[in-house]
Amino acid sequence: MAGFSVIWLMGSGPDRLTVRSKTYWDKDQGGLDPFRIPKRVAKEIEARRSSTGSGEALSHPIRYIWIYVTETGLRQNGGAVDFEETLGLDGWLNVIDECAALGAEWMVVYVGASLSEAPFIWQVCAWAQDVHDLRVGLHLTSNCLSEDDIERLSRLDSEKTYLVADKAHIASLRFLEAKGIRLCEANVLAAERVAHCTKPEEIACVGPDGRLFSCGLVLGDERYAMGDSQHRTLHDVTADESLPHAVTDTAAFPSTGCDACPPLIAKRVLETEAQ
Ligand code: SF4
């Protein structure tokens, strides 16, 4: 099959083959090498083995990935959240591979005010969609998009891509729908929040430096720290009942901190699709 790359999908969706042109991987994905796949498949098999071979079934499988690929615009307790070194492309692909092995079906990517904050997000999104069949929401906190951003958004799988934005920006982004890019409001309503939230049980929330927190509302708050995704397997983190798998005092945090919460975004998307 000269000129083509065959990808074996191992995600939670139906097994199938996706064929992408070599040009797609060389140029559109910035040289992301599809032949790295055997290495990643081996990692995924290892993750699946650790999630089943130990005889310890997860009581709450991961369904949602929430990743913060930039620290720009993140605030906690009135100040900027302090993160150390930020993860690169390989680190994020590892997170996605592990989460997919644990059952993830949806992903929300916080990109801050500009999609160019993290140039590798296109590769991250394409990997999540093509290799793991994940539905992906890109959470943009502004309505600023360049021509290049729009072009790259259009190249993602339109059936699995959502631009998640504040309702104040939705009207000015409507033109994207004509290009096949779906929109979803990020704002979480007061009625959707509960004082003691157990949704984090199904969320793997990873900050810019790879550290895990219960969810985006408490990102950067050490009381809700779950360890480092680069040094501990997500299966271990998920199975460790000593970690904070729920947020017990949501009212103590700003209500906007719940915006773009993946299970609520997924619910919204599914309700819209059902109409
Ligand atoms: S962001 Fe809010 S709604 Fe989502 S899991 Fe955290 S506390 Fe719950």
Residue 254 lies in a domain: yes
Q: Give the mean pLDDT of 6-14.
A: 40
Instruction: Please report whether residue 13 resides in a domain.
Output: no
**How close is the Cα of 95 to the center of ligand 1, in Å?**
20
Range of the domain at 75: 35-50+60-274
Instruction: Read off the pTM.
Output: 0.83
Task: Indicate whether 19 belongs to any domain.
Answer: no
Q: Provide the b/e sequence for 29-56 (b: ≥16 CB within 10 Å).
A: beebebeebeebeeebeebbebbeeeee
Per-residue confidence band for 185, with pLDDT thresholds at 50, 70 and 90: very high
Atom 2 of ligand 1: nearest residue by CA position: 258
pLDDT surpassing 90 at residue 18: no
Give the pLDDT band (50/70/90) at residue 41. low
Atom of ligand 1 nearest to the CA of 203: 5
Span of 117-121, 160-164, 171-175 with lowest mean pLDDT: 117-121
Instruction: Please determine, for residue 7, whether its predicted confidence score (pLDDT) is greater than 50.
Output: no
Q: Is the pLDDT score of 22 beyond 70?
A: no
For residue 1, is it within any domain?
A: no
Please give the full DSSP string across the chain, using - where no structure is assigned. -TTEEEEE--SSS---EEEEEHHIIIIITTT--GGGHHHHHHHHHHHHHHHHTTS---SS---EEEEE---TT-EETTEE----SPP-HHHHHHHHHHHHHTT--EEEEEEET-GGGSTTHHHHHHHHHHHH--EEEEEESSS---HHHHHHHHHS-GGGEEEEE-HHHHHHHGGGGGGT-EEEE-PPPGGG--SSB-GGGGEEEE-TTSEEES-GGGTT-GGGEEEETTTS-HHHHHH-TTS--SBS-GGGS-GGGGTT-HHHHHHHHHHHHH-
Q: Out of 13-17, 121-125, 256-260, which region has the weakest mean confidence (pLDDT)? A: 13-17
Query: Which amino acid belongs to residue 52?
Result: T
Contact 126, 103 (CB under 8 A): no
Residue 176 lies in a domain: yes
Count of the separate structural domains present in the chain: 1
The CA-based angle 52-54-59, given to 5 degrees, is: 60
Asked if residue 248 belongs to a domain, the reply is: yes
Q: 219 CA distance to ligand 1 centroid (A)?
A: 11
Residue 28 lies in a domain: no
Could you tell me if residue 135 is inside a domain? yes
94-126 per-position pLDDT tens digit: 999 999 999 999 999 999 999 988 899 999 999
Q: Rounded CA gap, 253 and 200, in Å?
A: 15
Predicted confidence band of residue 75 (pLDDT cuts 50, 70, 90): confident
Burial of 206 (0-12, 13-18, 19+ CB in 10 A): buried
> Which residues contact ligand 1 via a Cβ below 6 A?
193, 197, 199-200, 215-217, 247, 250, 258, 261
Residue whose Cα lies nearest atom 1 of ligand 1: it is 258
Ligand 1, residues 201, 219, 261: which to mutate, most atoms within 8 A of Cβ? 261
Residue 154 pLDDT greater than 60, yes or no: yes
